[in-house]
């Protein structure tokens, strides 16, 4: 034993009152789980209560907070940490014998699968509580899909499900999952094209978040083969049903080009009054750099595949971007001005350009109805659109926390029902942690799952 010759005269609690258990306390104090507990206790009835429902549930939450990858890791932590057992609600007089057995955890987790609706209700209850502290919650929205590989080794598409001797599906099989593919394309700085293809076997998470506070607002777990863009509008509509005030004050919704759809853009703007900040696919064929905005008349105004509007000088043939001059909501039109007049430079073809001779210069109004995908309320060439689209990365950061902090990068989950329940619990913990931090005066840390919880001296 290494002998310490001069121990401290003060206890460590005299120097630092903080404890890592405080992070779990934030979650336990904020989570609205009483309804679920009453249901589970009623189902147990007069059965054996060696391992209380509430203590077992709290230990499941502790496993999420402290990033334990499996039930056995949670059990080992409970066995060596008496303070954690006490905080979870286990009888301190029983010592390590109060820790539930592996079978007890298996039975408890199986019982949770029948109560995914109650877990989802906790999720929405927490959003309402957060909205009381964050009045602008939902002002800026973002959506994205995330791959959730199954723990089961990948299977071929036509491979039959493995069966046991009694004819039942092998528990090691994965009858719910299938294959998903994501392809991303772009260009390097030198103009060469790149392509990245991701394939996985399992499921996919579709997530709607507040991009300002990085708070999840709605979610759905599907098979990996499910396309992303059909899930966007149901997520928005589901949020409106549960939290109408959030959708009423929503101004923008950002998404990548996988959600580029006339239907989505039209419904977001016309029905929900939300400005779509959705990147556009480069889907032109034939190699055209630009095309006329008004194909039914002779004009100098053209646009590219992203909807960026330019004018062609009648004298030199030079193409210059027109100056975006706002969105006229009453006319549902985009307004552009002559770049020479707005930029105060000399254009050799200005005298030849129809409508450009005045001091104000040529004015072009483009109705959105010409092409809802091409022309959007915030033009894609503007700095305002670039700032709004940059907020979309909030959903990627939330997805990263789900992977790195909440355990979905390395997990042992099989089956759609288990994945959906486990995802619901993880998102509930994320929201409860955010609410707990706000209530304890740590609003600046509401996004963090790992930052220590500050405890003030009495």
Chain segment 254-278, per-residue pLDDT in tens: 999 999 999 999 999 999 999 999 9
Residue 353: inside a domain, yes or no? yes
Residue 120: inside a domain, yes or no? no
One domain, residues 296 and 214: no
Which residues, in sequence order, are CB contacts of 53 under 8 Å at separation 6+?
Answer: 37, 40, 41, 44, 108
| Residue 27: predicted pLDDT | 97
Residue 331: inside a domain, yes or no? yes
| Residue 414: predicted pLDDT | 86
Tens digit of each residue's pLDDT (9 = 90 or more) over 314-331:
888 888 899 999 999 999
Residue 12 has pLDDT above 80, yes or no: no
- Which of 231, 155, 230 lies closest to 414 in space, CA to CA? 155
One domain, residues 268 and 298: no
| Residue 351: predicted pLDDT | 79
Residue 17 has pLDDT above 60, yes or no: no
* DSSP per-residue letters across 327-363: EETTTTEEEEE-HHHHHT---TTGGGSTT--SSS--E
One domain, residues 47 and 143: no
- Tally Cβ neighbours within 10 Å of residue 140: 21
Chain mean position to CA 17: 35
| Residue 156: predicted pLDDT | 61
* Cα distance between residue 89 and residue 458, in whole Å: 24
| Residue 456: predicted pLDDT | 60
Looking at the structure of the chain, the number of domains it has is 3
* Cα distance between residue 297 and residue 304, in whole Å: 18
| Residue 316: predicted pLDDT | 87
| Residue 62: predicted pLDDT | 97
* Cα distance between residue 60 and residue 453, in whole Å: 20
Residue 18: inside a domain, yes or no? yes
One domain, residues 266 and 312: no
One domain, residues 141 and 264: yes
Residue 303: inside a domain, yes or no? yes
Tens digit of each residue's pLDDT (9 = 90 or more) over 126-138:
999 999 999 999 9
Q: Please give the average per-residue pLDDT across 335-341, as a whole number.
A: 89
Contact between 122 and 27 under an 8 Å Cβ cutoff? The reply is: no
Share of the chain above pLDDT 90, in %: 65
Residue 3: inside a domain, yes or no? no
Residue 8 has pLDDT above 90, yes or no: no
Contact between 215 and 137 under an 8 Å Cβ cutoff? The reply is: yes
Structural tokens at position 316: 């030199």
One domain, residues 371 and 395: no
Banded pLDDT at 84 (limits 50, 70, 90): very high
| Residue 169: predicted pLDDT | 62
Tens digit of each residue's pLDDT (9 = 90 or more) over 374-397:
999 999 999 999 999 999 999 999
* Cα distance between residue 135 and residue 413, in whole Å: 36
Q: Please give the average per-residue pLDDT across 16-34, as a whole number.
A: 88
3-state secondary structure of 375: coil
One domain, residues 325 and 255: no
| Residue 345: predicted pLDDT | 75
Residue 168: inside a domain, yes or no? no
| Residue 73: predicted pLDDT | 95
One domain, residues 252 and 321: no
| Residue 296: predicted pLDDT | 76
- Among the ranges 18-27, 185-194, 265-274, 288-297, which has the highest mean pLDDT value? 265-274
Chain mean position to CA 70: 24
Residue 166 has pLDDT above 80, yes or no: no
Q: Which helix (H) or strand (E) holds 3?
A: none
CATH of the domain at 194: 3.30.420
- Which of 316, 454, 439 lies closest to 20 in space, CA to CA? 454
| Residue 182: predicted pLDDT | 86
| Residue 11: predicted pLDDT | 59
One domain, residues 105 and 250: no
Q: Please give the average per-residue pLDDT across 58-81, as a whole number.
A: 95
Task: Kindly report the average pLDDT of the chain as a whole number.
Answer: 89
pTM, rounded to two decimals: 0.89
One domain, residues 263 and 396: yes
Strands across the sheet containing 323-328: 323-328, 333-337, 363-367
One domain, residues 141 and 253: yes
Structural tokens at position 37: 């507990």
One domain, residues 296 and 273: no
Contact between 53 and 20 under an 8 Å Cβ cutoff? The reply is: no
Domain containing 79 equals: 14-114
Residue 381: inside a domain, yes or no? no
Better-predicted residue by pLDDT, 304 or 7: 304
- Which of 216, 220, 278, 227 lies closest to 252 in space, CA to CA? 278
- The residue to which tokens 């007890």 are assigned: 104
Contact between 83 and 21 under an 8 Å Cβ cutoff? The reply is: yes
């Amino acid at each position: 034993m290494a002998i310490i010759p001069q121990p401290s005269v003060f206890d460590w609690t005299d120097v630092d009152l903080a404890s890592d258990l405080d992070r779990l306390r934030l979650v336990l104090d904020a989570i609205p789980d009483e309804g679920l507990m009453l249901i589970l206790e009623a189902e147990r009835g007069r059965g054996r209560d060696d391992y209380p429902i509430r203590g077992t549930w709290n230990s499941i939450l502790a496993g999420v907070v402290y990033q334990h990858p499996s039930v056995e890791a949670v059990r080992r932590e409970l066995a060596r940490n008496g303070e954690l057992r006490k905080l979870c609600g286990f009888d301190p007089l029983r010592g390590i014998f109060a820790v539930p057995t592996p079978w007890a955890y298996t039975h408890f987790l199986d019982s949770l699968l029948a109560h995914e609706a109650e877990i989802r209700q906790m999720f929405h209850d927490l959003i309402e509580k957060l909205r009381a502290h964050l009045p602008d919650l939902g002002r800026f929205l973002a959506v994205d899909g995330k791959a959730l590989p199954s723990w089961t080794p990948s299977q071929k598409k036509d491979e039959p499900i493995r069966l046991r001797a009694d004819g039942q599906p092998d528990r090691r099989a994965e009858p719910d999952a299938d294959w998903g593919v994501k392809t991303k394309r772009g260009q390097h700085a030198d103009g060469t094209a790149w392509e990245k293809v991701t394939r996985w076997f399992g499921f996919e998470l579709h997530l709607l978040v507040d991009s300002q506070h990085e708070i999840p607002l709605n979610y759905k777990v599907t098979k990996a083969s499910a396309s992303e863009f059909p899930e966007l509008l149901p997520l928005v509509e589901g949020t409106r049903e549960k939290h109408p005030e959030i959708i009423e004050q929503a101004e923008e919704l950002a998404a990548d080009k996988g959600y580029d759809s006339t239907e989505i853009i039209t419904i977001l703007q016309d029905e929900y009054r939300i400005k779509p900040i959705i990147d556009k696919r480069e889907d032109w064929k034939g190699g055209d750099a630009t095309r006329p905005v008004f194909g039914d008349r002779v004009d100098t105004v053209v646009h590219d595949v992203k909807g960026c509007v330019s004018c062609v000088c009648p004298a030199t043939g030079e193409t210059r971007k027109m100056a975006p001059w706002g969105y006229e909501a009453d006319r549902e039109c985009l307004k552009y001005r002559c770049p020479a007049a707005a930029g105060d430079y000399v254009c050799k073809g200005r005298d030849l350009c129809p409508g450009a001779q005045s001091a104000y210069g040529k004015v072009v109004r483009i109705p959105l109805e010409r092409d809802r995908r091409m022309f959007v309320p915030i033009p894609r060439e503007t700095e305002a659109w670039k700032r709004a689209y940059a907020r979309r990365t909030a959903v990627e950061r939330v997805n990263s926390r789900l992977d790195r902090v909440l355990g979905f990068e390395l997990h042992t989950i099989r089956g759609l029902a288990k994945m959906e329940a486990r995802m619901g619990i993880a998102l509930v913990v994320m929201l409860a942690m955010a609410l707990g931090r706000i209530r304890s005066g740590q609003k600046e840390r509401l996004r963090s799952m790992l930052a220590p919880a500050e405890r003030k001296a009495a």
